[in-house]
């Protein structure tokens, strides 16, 4: 009987945690970060869930850039955007963990 009560309580907590995780993922979808290449040729926008949502180029530079320069700029801008998104995601998850598990950071 006590086991059933504990199992129900644990299942309830798991459900709450899943709801909080879903809410965080939704919030991360609304956060946007920008990565830009050093030469300002490429700009990449990603969301907090580390998904690239936009890629744009400086057309005046794009027309005179080589294929290799364009590839390097895309990689550089993408990596920068994804690094920022990962930091934001980690921060949001850390805050959520602290609120779900009181005393964890003490």
Question: Measured between alpha carbons, how far is 90 from 38 in angstroms, rounded to an integer?
Answer: 25
pLDDT tens readout for residues 48-106: 999 999 999 999 999 999 999 999 999 999 999 999 999 999 998 888 777 766 655 44
pLDDT tens readout for residues 1-25: 556 666 666 666 777 888 888 999 9
Strand positions, DSSP E, the chain? 32-36, 42-47, 52-57
pTM of the predicted structure, to 2 decimals? 0.77
Query: Given the structure tokens 């530079």, which residue do they identify?
Result: 61
Domains of the chain and any CATH numbers: 32-106 (3.30.1310.10)
């Amino acid at each position: 009987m006590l086991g059933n009560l504990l199992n129900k309580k644990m299942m309830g907590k798991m459900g709450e945690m899943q709801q909080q995780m879903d809410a965080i993922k939704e919030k991360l979808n609304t956060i946007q970060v920008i990565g830009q290449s050093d030469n300002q040729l490429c700009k990449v926008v990603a969301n907090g869930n580390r998904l690239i949502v936009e890629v744009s180029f400086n057309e005046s530079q794009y027309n005179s850039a080589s294929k290799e320069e364009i590839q390097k700029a895309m990689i550089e801008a993408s990596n920068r955007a994804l690094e920022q998104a990962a930091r934001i995601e980690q921060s949001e998850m850390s805050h959520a963990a602290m609120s779900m598990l009181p005393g964890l950071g003490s």
